[in-house]
């Protein structure tokens, strides 16, 4: 590596790293992973938003729209990684005894609600088992 290239990389890192200050620590990521797992096990499909926050796809106060069907899963119009779709398919199979259905979720992410066990966000409001042909919208 040429000395000037190295200096350029250091300067670029100094400028970019403060912009990434929203990045979460490993400790917080582990906490969020545990919350997501707990919500998943309880049958609360809002675990998706916890995962999106943990992965940096949503920030505190962000408005969001999540669309999904048998072939796609998008957050605010941007296709989510395949792992999200596969996890959600497994969730529907395990927790709702159904295949992927068409759905849409929208709202505003409030991180304080993720950490508050008594918040509406953390409560499982999805008590009903949905048949695989049912379309939520």
**Tens digits of per-residue pLDDT, 3-52?**
556 555 555 545 444 444 456 899 999 999 999 999 999 999 899 999 99
Over 90: is that where the pLDDT of 115 sits? Answer: yes
pLDDT tens-digit profile of 53-86? 999 999 999 999 999 887 789 999 999 999 998 8
The mean per-residue pLDDT over the stretch 106-123 comes to 94
pLDDT of residue 22: 52
Encoded tokens for 126: 């999805």
């Amino acid at each position: 590596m040429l000395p000037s290239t190295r200096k350029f990389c250091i300067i670029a890192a100094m400028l970019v790293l403060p912009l990434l200050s929203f990045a979460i620590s490993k400790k917080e990521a582990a906490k969020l992973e545990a919350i997501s797992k707990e919500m998943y096990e309880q049958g609360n499909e809002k675990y998706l938003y916890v995962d999106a926050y943990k992965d940096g796809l949503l920030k505190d106060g962000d408005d969001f729209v999540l669309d999904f069907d048998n072939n796609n899963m998008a957050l605010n119009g941007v296709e989510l990684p395949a792992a999200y779709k596969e996890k959600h398919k497994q969730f529907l199979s395990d927790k709702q005894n159904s295949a992927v259905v068409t759905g849409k979720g929208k709202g505003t992410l409030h991180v304080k609600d993720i950490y508050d066990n008594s918040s509406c966000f953390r409560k499982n409001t999805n008590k009903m088992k949905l048949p695989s042909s049912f379309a939520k919208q």
